[in-house]
Amino acid sequence: MLYLSVVFEGAVGVLSAVDVLNVPREKAYRLLHPKLVVVISSSDEYGRGNVMTAAWAMPVSSAPPMVVVAISPKRLTYEYVKSSKEFVINVPSIDLIDQVRYFGSVSGKEENKLSRAKVGNGRRVKAPILLDSIAWLECKVTNEVEAGDHVLFIAEVIEAYVKKDALEEDITYNLERFKPILHLGGDSYTTTIGGKVTF
């Protein structure tokens, strides 16, 4: 049996294997979920656009504003971002779940995924924006780091927009009006029930 010793405020307790599961290392990332689902849009030098669904995107600096996205070199988006050095992070709401799942299940090498979306032009990047999204962050790549089977694209946010009714005065989402897509792992998703706790 697997036994783990744990300390809570000075008292030692023992948990048996009945109480804990040994998670395979390659699935350990799921213990950090749910994660906000975003759609990364990019384009090549000929202006051909592509999108991919991602949950591995996060801020890494506020001054200057920077983000990181993890993209597999197998993806067409990887090729486009690597060559163009720019991308857009689109933040969809739960009502776009079917479109978002489609973006994540089909390769842009096989079909034009943008033909199923309302698309606009970025203001400071050539990558397209998804007009039905709640928010967009236009990004310029500053660095790339290989990390196992993915490449981390570190980028500066050069423009950011959000639909007015999705935001509170303190620049947080109004979760009564905007229901984000949260990835649990695999093909499992959830969303919020609304409300906010402020300390």
Write down the pLDDT at residue 51.
98
Domains and CATH numbers, the chain: 23-190 (2.30.110.10)
Mean pLDDT of the chain: 90
Residue with the larger pLDDT of the pair 65 and 30: 65
On whether the CB atoms of residues 40 and 89 are closer than 8 A, the answer is yes
- Residues 171-197 have pLDDT tens digits of 899 998 899 999 998 888 899 986 666
| Residue that the structure tokens 């007009």 belong to | 131
Q: What is the pLDDT of residue 30?
A: 87
Strands 49-54 and 11-15, sheet pairing? unpaired
The angle formed by the CA atoms of residues 181, 94 and 175, to the nearest 5 degrees, is 80
Cα–Cα distance for residue pair 12/163, rounded to 1 Å: 51
Per DSSP, 171 falls in state S
- Alpha-carbon span 49 to 107, nearest angstrom: 12
pLDDT tens for residues 16-25?
Answer: 556 778 888 8
Q: What pLDDT digit, counting tens, does each position of 97-154 carry? A: 999 999 999 999 999 999 999 999 999 999 999 999 999 999 999 999 999 999 999 9
Residue 52 has pLDDT above 80, yes or no: yes
The pTM (predicted TM-score) of the whole model is: 0.88
Please give the pLDDT value at position 144. Answer: 98
